[in-house]
Amino acid sequence: MKKKQAEADINVLRALEVFMAVSDARHISAAAAALGLTQPAVSQQIKKLEWALHTQLFDRTRRPLELTHSGQILKRRAFRILNEVEDLRADLRYLESSSIPVLRVGLLASIATSLTTGLLDMVRDELKIPELSLSAGLGTDHQIALNTRAVDVVVTSDPQFDVSEYQCIPVLEEPFFLVLPGSYSGPSDDIHKICKDLSLVRFSADAPVGRRTDQHLQRCRVDLPRSMEADRASMIVAGVVTGQCFAILTPSLLIDAVAEGMDLRIEPLPLPGFSRSILTISRAGELGDIPQQLAVESSRLLREQFVTRLSGVADQVLHHC
């Protein structure tokens, strides 16, 4: 493709959105999955943008991808440009409607089922917003979705990105527990004895909860044998149910498994304790008190689930709303 043709054909705003997704994910494949595009389509958008700007934006010799100096400058500018464009869109929507026509919410996959019905009722009956758009994913998906304005607000955990330009409202803080097969009859107070019979099934390092768990184990100077890793709580629990593995999980990561009747034994962690936070994150100043209302409702809905399905550990979850 000739350079002049590429410049003429490029949709600058879409190309900037794709660029932001790639710069956050640092992998073409992850950005493509988050955007709902193919890898070739994402690569082509980046190439067009580089041709149009006459500069290289990524160092493709590094894995994961790294921004060049030009790419770092563009990321700062692109973030502001996309914010301005979305502000304009929001202003125009408000002019044509007495309320927000669609509220787009990103949810952690592990709590999406628990929150969906309650949030739908709240958005429809209390906020009077005609439509609710929900998407479920990992915390890394939420970073991309917020930066590219694919969602308005997220209910996520322990963000691993700069939140200085966002409004963050704590929902709850929950401790990690030892999760054993229901058939396991061995000791639960010594992690090394447990490892003689079971191996650790863990979240992949790409998942924020996986990184958090790995970092805590490293701080405790504990190196555990591992047999499996995955990026969804349902797969982690499925590994435990085989009777060959154990896991380290929080109550919100266990709700769906307990609801499905999986045979699990939940015990205190035989290590120094650690926890994770769940919070709502939204662009500051755009949604009024809607993020606060979402945080309060999410806390209420999760508290109900914990009391109903995980009564033995429910009182150890700290609710901020």
* CATH dotted code for 97-171+277-319: 3.40.190.10
Among candidates 84, 68, 76, 69, which has minimal Cα distance to 20? 76
Helix (H), strand (E) counts: the chain: 12, 13
State the average pLDDT over residues 95-110.
Answer: 78
With a threshold of 0.75, does the pTM exceed it? no
What are the structural domain ranges in the chain? 3-79, 97-171+277-319, 177-273
Model pLDDT, residue 23:
92
Task: Indicate if the pLDDT at residue 261 is higher than 90.
Answer: no
The fold of 3-79 is Arc Repressor Mutant, subunit A (1.10.10)
pLDDT band at 179 (very low <50, low <70, confident <90, very high): very high
Q: What single-letter DSSP state applies at residue 126?
A: I
* Higher per-residue confidence, 7 vs 221: 221
Backbone angles phi, psi at 170, to 5 degrees: -65, 140
Structure tokens at 156: 């996520």
Task: Indicate if the pLDDT at residue 2 is higher than 50.
Answer: no
> Residue 87: helix, strand or coil by DSSP?
helix
pLDDT band at 1 (very low <50, low <70, confident <90, very high): very low
**What is the per-residue pLDDT across 131-163, written as a single tens digit (0 to 9) for each?**
899 999 877 788 888 888 889 999 999 887 788
Select 177-273's CATH number: 3.90.1150.10, 3.40.50.261, 3.30.70.1230, 3.40.190.10. 3.40.190.10
**What is the per-residue pLDDT across 192-250, written as a single tens digit (0 to 9) for each?**
899 999 999 988 887 888 888 989 989 989 888 777 888 888 899 999 999 999 999 99
Model pLDDT, residue 91:
64
> CB 64: neighbour CB atoms within 10 A?
9
Given this chain, do its domains 97-171+277-319 and 177-273 carry the same CATH topology? yes
Model pLDDT, residue 149:
83
Alpha-carbon Rg for the chain, nearest whole angstrom, is 22
Report CA torsion sign: 227, 230, 233, 239: negative
Model pLDDT, residue 184:
93
